[in-house]
Chains A and B, each alone.
Chain A
Amino acid sequence: MELVDRYAPVTDDPEAFRAACARPLPTTVRVNGLKTTPAAATDALAAAGVAATPTAWSPSVLRLDTDTAGGTLPYYLGWIHGQEEVSCLPAHVLDPRPGETVIDLAAAPGGKATQLADLMDDTGTVIANDVNLGRLSALRHNSERLGVTNLVVTHQDGRHLSLKPLGPERPVDRVLVDAPCSCEGTLRKSPHIVADWDPKGHRGLQPVQTALLGRAVELTRPGGVVVYATCTFAPEENEAVVDAVLASHPCSLEPVALPAGLEAAPGLQRYGTMRFDASLRETVRIYPHQNDTGGFYLARLRVDG
Chain B
Amino acid sequence: MTQNDGGRFDRVAPDASAQTDPDRPHRAAICAWWADRFGIAPETWAGYSFWEKGNGKLWVFAGEATDPTPVEALGMRFMRVRQEHWKPSTNAVQRFGDRATRNVIRLSDAETRRFIAGESVDRPGWEGDWGYLIAATAVAGREVPLGVGLYLRGELRSTVPRGRQRRL
Q: Is the CB of B67 within 8 A of A167?
A: yes
User: Are the C-beta atoms of A144 and B76 separated by less than 8 Å?
Assistant: yes
Q: Is B124 in the interface zone, CB < 8 Å from A? A: no
- Specify which of B60, B62, B73 is in contact with A123 (CB 8 Å cutoff): B62
A70-B166, A78-B91 known; 6 new pairs, CB 8 Å cut-off, are A39-B140, A76-B166, A136-B72, A144-B76, A149-B62, A150-B75
The stretch among A151-159, A171-179, A217-225, A282-290 that forms the contact with chain B is A151-159
Q: Which residue of B lies closest to A150 (CB)?
A: B62
Closest to A78 in B: B94
A56 beta carbon closer than 8 Å to chain B: no
- Give which listed residue, B72, B95, B112, B163, contacts A147 with CB less than 8 A: B95
| In the complex with contacts A35-B95, A153-B73, A40-B140 CB distance below 8 A | yes
Q: Report the bound CA distance from A77 to B66 in whole Å.
A: 32
Can you list, as one digit per residue, whether each of B51-92 has a CB less than 8 Å from chain A (1) or not (0)?
000000000111101110111111111000000000001010
Taking the nearest CB of chain B, how far is it from the CB of A302, in angstroms? 26
Chain B window 141-160, contacts with chain A (Cβ cutoff 8 Å), 1 for yes, 0 for no: 11010100000000000000
Chain A residues near B60 (CB, 8 Å)? 149
Q: Of B74, B89, B91, B168, which is in contact with the most chain A CB atoms at under 10 Å from its CB?
A: B91
Select from chain A the residue with minimum beta-carbon distance to B139. A44
Q: With an 8 A cutoff between CB atoms, is B48 at the interface?
A: yes
Tell me if A77 and B144 are in contact (CB < 8 A): yes
Query: Chain A contacts of B116 at CB under 8 A?
Result: 73, 76
For the complex of A and B, the 8 pairs showing the least CB-CB separation, nearest first, are A167-B66, A147-B95, A153-B73, A43-B140, A150-B62, A40-B140, A153-B72, A144-B91
Partner of B142, one of A40, A124, A144: A40
Kindly state the separation between the CA atoms of A40 and B62 in the bound complex, as whole angstroms: 25
- Which bucket holds chain A's interface residue count? 35 or more
Minimal beta-carbon separation of B156 from chain A (angstroms): 17
> Which residues of A have CB within 8 Å of B76?
143-144, 147-149
A187 to chain B, nearest CB (A): 30
Chain A residues with a Cβ under 8 A of chain B: 34-36, 39-41, 43-44, 47-48, 70-78, 122-125, 136, 140-141, 143-145, 147-155, 165-168
Contact residues of B between 9 and 62, Cβ < 8 Å to A = 48, 60-62
**B166 near A71 (CB under 8 angstroms)?**
yes
B77 — nearest CB in chain A belongs to which residue? A144
Docked-complex contact A151 and B69, CB < 8 angstroms: no
Q: Quick check: is B99 within 8 A (CB to CB) of the other chain? A: no
- What residues of chain A lie closer than 8 Å to B77, measured between beta carbons? 144
List the A side residues contacting B69 at CB < 8 Å.
Answer: 152, 165-167
Residues of A within 8 Å of B167, CB to CB, are 71
Interface centre among A76, A147, A151, A165 (most CB of B within 10 A): A76
Interface core residue of B76, B112, B142 (most chain A CB under 10 Å):
B76
Contact in complex: B139, A77 (CB < 8 Å): yes
- Report B-chain residues with C-beta under 8 Å of the C-beta of A35: 94-95
Instruction: Point out the residues of chain A lying under 8 angstroms from B144, CB to CB.
Output: 77
Q: Is there an interface contact between B140 and A123, defined as CB atoms closer than 8 Å?
A: no
Chain A residue numbers with a CB within 8 Å of B67 are 167
Closest to B91 in A: A144
Closest to B61 in A: A149
In the complex, the answer to whether A71 meets B66 with C-beta atoms within 8 Å is no
Contact: A76 with B164, CB < 8 Å?
yes
Is there an interface contact between A71 and B168, defined as CB atoms closer than 8 Å? yes
Question: Min CB distance, A292 to chain B, in Å?
Answer: 28
Q: Do A149 and B48 form a contact, CB below 8 Å, given A76-B164, A140-B73?
A: yes
Q: In the complex, what residue of chain A is closest to B78 when comparing beta carbons?
A: A149
**Chain B's nearest CB lies how many Å from the CB of A281?**
39
Task: State which of B48, B70, B164 has its C-beta within 8 Å of the C-beta of A165.
Answer: B70
Bound CA span A74–B166, Å: 11
Question: A71: which B residues are within 8 A, CB to CB?
Answer: 166-168
- Residues of chain A within 8 A (CB-CB) of B71 are 152-155, 165-166
Within the complex, what minimum Cβ distance (angstroms) separates B145 from chain A? 9
Bound-state CA distance A179–B168 (Å) is 35
B157 to chain A, nearest CB (A): 18
Cα(A143)–Cα(B91), bound, Å: 10
Known: A149-B48, A152-B74. A166 touches B140 (CB 8 A): no
